[in-house]
Structure 1
Amino acid sequence: MNKKGYSLVEVLITLFIVSLILGAAYFTYISIFKGMKEESESVELQMEKIVGLELLRLDLEHTGYGVGKPKTTGDYRILETKAMTPRDGLLIRSTLNNTNNKTIGWVLCNNSGGNDPIRDETSAPNDNYVFIDNEGYIVATVNDGLCPNDDLLIGFPFDSASTGCDNTCTEILYYLSNTNLPSHCNKKTYNLLRKVNNSGGGNPLLSCVADFKFRVDLDTDLDNVVDLKNQQLTNSISPTDLRYQLKKIHVYILIQEGGFNPDYEFKNFNSDSDGKYIPIDGVKLYLPNTPDFKHYRWKAIKMSVKPMSIIK
């Protein structure tokens, strides 16, 4: 019987072919894994963005909600610029905090003092109310949930830990911070934090934010027509004028979408002496000042909200 084995050349050829197949499979696996990782990061950021932006929209919509006019002191500022680093923060005042059910809603009084309200549209039990008359002035603050007198009054529940409006309205501060920045974010981006009253450093609303700015539309002659559009919010305008003139709030955010991708190059930007930026409505949103910023995807977001406060 003629027994013949494999030659050395045949073995080497077989090993070469197998190595090619394994190499192709490996690179295919790496490519798929990389794509899945990028897609996972992108989906995670998209979900975070949807939730975060909706909460921001609700807070902007309720700017000045329930904030009455004091009868004996100066007016309360319902919206304010807060000087911070690297960008100014946006401070909102409202009796309503959208993450606290006890501050959501209102009650109506039209009966003798000390009685329960005739209509209760609150979301959760709360005995702390600031009552306001039909001219928008604060009549009384109670902690027993009862109508203070027999006038036609509307009451707004507030958090007992409130730090604004003589402790009757919530202060919500939006600002940028690089504390606890997720690892997939460009190292020169920030978390957009939402701080309620004195709640520590605040809670992350959005991550991987490169820039955050805000503007306002004002009706200075009170004819219900905006005559100053997209203005920087300055604290030089009086609280009373701001209450009457504020028509719309615009927020601009430049955010990273997905993680680092060495094969991708972002090109849609302009440059000036301050750096690389994306323009929107004349507002410059600056990209991170890092050599690798081009290997991330960036999106400029504009949110325009009309405050719904019923008190002027």
Structure 2
Amino acid sequence: MRRKGITLVELLVVMAIVALSAGGIFFAYRSLVRETIRQSLFAKNEQDVEVLLTSLRKDLEGIGFGVPMDRLKVGTPTCNGLTDFAGSNSVVGIAFNCLSGNDELYFLNLATRSFRNSGCWWAIDGSGNVATQGRRWTLEDCPSIPPTGENLLCLDMASKATTSCNSPNTLIFTMGDRTSVGDFAVRYYLSNANLPKECAPNTFNLLKQVNGDSTGRPIASCVAVFRVRYFDGQGYTTNIDDINNLRAIRLCLLMQVGGKMDTQMDPPNRFEQCGDITINPEWRWYRWKLVEEDIPLRNIRK
């Protein structure tokens, strides 16, 4: 006699096969989604690194912009010493071995504050004609003449000493509502406060603090190492006596890109010019970007 239908055992077997197939598809889908998110986060972090470097280049290439001659010196700031640096006669300085052995970078740049005409400057030639130079930090054109209602800093073209704003052969810089060059002193440093949860252990936020601000503004997160060196045209050093020999600032950063991985990977363990890196064992679960770049300084010659 021919049997019709299916037995309970056959039904259970079919259900088990369907459940296993569905489970496999689910886990494969979850792994695919996780990898897609990881790759997207990695791509975003790589882009964030480029944005950070663009911002750093803009700030550091302008070191000495609008700075009088008497401040064109290399200083020796101490860690967390922005106020003292702003009151010194220095245009750039590095505080070494601060938080967890990392460095802090200090400098003066009249284009570092984001007021309307930040980055603009003008030149009065020998005949008294005024020419507009530079561009606003928003990339807009600057006014054709120095703006009224803003404080101006005027320097002699040859000596870079302060002079009358109506004198021939004069450079004119705007300071917005600020009255002191020291108000444009900047500190780049690391802090472990308010670190995002996706950052690896023993990493930091990179902050930028302008003199007068109570706290720094976060520039990047998940930074493991931040070091700075001077380049004098011959080599890299932590000490330089004559600012006329200073050619560039060497930036060295080790930054996390992406979240925690499922497999381990050895992170970079040394910079070419900034020394060895002490590796935290937990860092092997993360992907890293090692950045080492010279930023030329063109505004610091006496």
TM range (shorter): 0.7 to 0.9
1:64 Cα deviation from its structure 2 partner: 1.0
Task: Determine helix, strand or coil for the equivalent of 1:37.
Answer: helix
1:131 Cα deviation from its structure 2 partner: 0.9
Unaligned runs of 5+ in 1: 141-146, 219-225, 270-276
Q: Which residue of 128, 133, 151 maps to 2:156? A: 133
Higher strand content, 1 or 2 = 1
Unaligned runs of 5+ in 2: 72-86, 137-141
**1:107–1:155 contact (8 Å) kept in structure 2:** yes
Structure 1 residues 111 and 268 mapped into 2: Cα distance closer, same or farther (>3 Å)? closer
Q: How many correspondences in the alignment?
A: 274
Task: Determine helix, strand or coil for the equivalent of 2:185.
Answer: strand
1:100 Cα deviation from its structure 2 partner: 4.2
**1:278–1:300 contact (8 Å) kept in structure 2:** no
**1:1-312 maps to which residues of 2 (within 5 A)?**
4-70=4-70, 76-82=89-95, 84-86=98-100, 87-97=102-112, 99-110=114-125, 118-121=130-133, 123=136, 124=142, 126=147, 127-140=150-163, 148-161=165-178, 164-165=181-182, 167=183, 170-218=184-232, 226-227=233-234, 229-232=235-238, 234=239, 237=240, 241-242=242-243, 244-262=244-262, 264-267=263-266, 269=268, 277-281=269-273, 283-287=275-279, 289=280, 291-309=281-299, 311-312=301-302
Task: Determine helix, strand or coil for the equivalent of 2:12.
Answer: helix
**2:63–2:300 contact (8 Å) kept in structure 1:** no
Task: Determine helix, strand or coil for the equivalent of 2:162.
Answer: strand
**2:94–2:228 contact (8 Å) kept in structure 1:** no
Task: Determine helix, strand or coil for the equivalent of 1:66.
Answer: coil
Cα distance in 2 between the residues matched to 1:129 and 1:310: 20
Cα distance in 2 between the residues matched to 1:268 and 1:179: 24
Find the counterpart in structure 2 of residue 274 from structure 1: none
Cα distance in 2 between the residues matched to 1:159 and 1:217: 32
Find the counterpart in structure 2 of residue 144 from structure 1: none
Cα distance in 1 between the residues matched to 2:106 and 2:195: 22
Cα distance in 2 between the residues matched to 1:203 and 1:58: 16
State the 4+ residue runs in structure 1 displaced beyond 6 angstroms: none
Letter in 2 for 1:259: G
Cα distance in 2 between the residues matched to 1:162 and 1:298: 42
